[in-house]
Amino acid sequence: MTPNEMPAQSGQNSEALQKVVMAGMKLMYDAKIFPMFADALEKDPSPMNIAKQAAGLMKILMDKSQGSIPKNVMIPAAVALLFEMAGFMVQAGMPKPSDEDMQVALKALVQMMVQVFGGQQPGVPPAQPTGAQPPQAVQPGMIGG
């Protein structure tokens, strides 16, 4: 999902969302991080791992920004990065996540984001449990976890 394909939001939120997604993509494809990220997805292309990688990327962004990312753009940015990761997987010749896989990954990602960053974003329904509970602490492979 490119910044131009993201859902319309108010001007300031839209600009913040675009900045976060672009920073996330820049970080995701960084020469130092990309090999770890790609390896983690290749070893485990499961919906839970895709969600874990997206949540981990958001954690790195929040740390780098010293917590300055507006809470109301955290989940939409994470979702956009989740779809960017799925696109990368297809381009890299990895198994293409099915629509069902992406739904599971999306629900898990929202749960992880709420657990890690607290609070619920207005307009985003709470994720429904899918049987497998996400880890209590996000420890994505791309950051050495």
Residue 49 makes CB contacts below 8 A (sequence gap 6+) with 40, 41, 141
Q: Which pair of structure tokens corresponds to residue 127? A: 């994720």
Can you give the pLDDT at residue 55? 93
Tell me how far apart the alpha carbons of residues 76 and 72 are, in angstroms, rounded to a whole number. Answer: 8
Decide which of 126 and 108 is more confident.
108
Q: Are residues 58 and 142 in contact, defined by beta-carbon separation less than 8 angstroms? A: no
Q: Are residues 127 and 107 in contact, defined by beta-carbon separation less than 8 angstroms? A: yes
**Mean pLDDT score, 84-109:** 92
Tell me how far apart the alpha carbons of residues 71 and 94 are, in angstroms, rounded to a whole number. Answer: 32
Averaged pLDDT of the chain: 79
Residue-level length of the chain: 145
pLDDT digits (tens, 9 = 90+) for 34-89: 888 889 999 999 999 999 999 999 999 999 999 889 988 999 999 999 999 999 88
Q: From 24, 113, 121, select the one nearest 64 (Cα to Cα).
A: 24
Tell me how far apart the alpha carbons of residues 131 and 27 are, in angstroms, rounded to a whole number. Answer: 32
